[in-house]
Amino acid sequence: MDARLSGLSEPPGTEDGEAAPAGRIEVRERVLRKIARTASASAIGIDSGDVTAHVVDHRGGIAVRVRAPLPVPDLADDLAVGNATSVIDRARALQEDLHTRLTQILGRDVKRVEITIDGARVNRKGRVR
């Protein structure tokens, strides 16, 4: 893949009717990837180092692929397990949230968000001393 993603448009005119300056805006793939990784980690509630993200051109916009573990309740905590949302429902909500966030942050048309849950992070309650 090229070092940058194509499809960035020329800047629109200013609000007062003046034309925007001529030129091109180029955002490198690694920048888009880091933003996708950081936004994903924030939405999931884990460290960004635990997330892998890829951003590619897709049908006039971009597609984002995210791979990360998902926090789950301690299985010994019956109350937390009973109140937990299913992994599929959480992933679907995460997919929608990331679509909205990344479209807003990147200023690009996010056509597709693929999420792969590759592990579980058990949320254990700390001991009270």
Residues ≥6 apart with Cβ < 8 Å to 57: 5, 6, 7, 63
Q: Which helix (H) or strand (E) holds 34?
A: helix 29-44
Whole-number CA gyration radius for the chain: 19
List, run by run, the mean pLDDT of 10-residue segments along the chain (129 residues). Answer: 50 65 89 97 96 95 97 89 92 97 94 96 68
Q: CA-CA distance, 87 to 69, in Å (whole number)?
A: 11
Q: In what order do the strands lie in the sheet with 52-58?
A: 52-58, 61-73, 110-123
Q: Of 2.20.25, 3.30.70, 1.10.150, 3.30.300, which CATH number belongs to 29-123?
A: 3.30.70
Interatomic CA distance for residues 46 and 67, integer angstroms:
12
Q: What is the model's pLDDT at position 3?
A: 46
Contact 99, 108 (CB under 8 A): no
Q: What is the pLDDT of residue 49?
A: 96
Give the integer Cα–Cα distance in Å for 44 and 15.
37
Domain segments of the chain: what residues?
Answer: 29-123
Say what the pLDDT of residue 20 is: 79
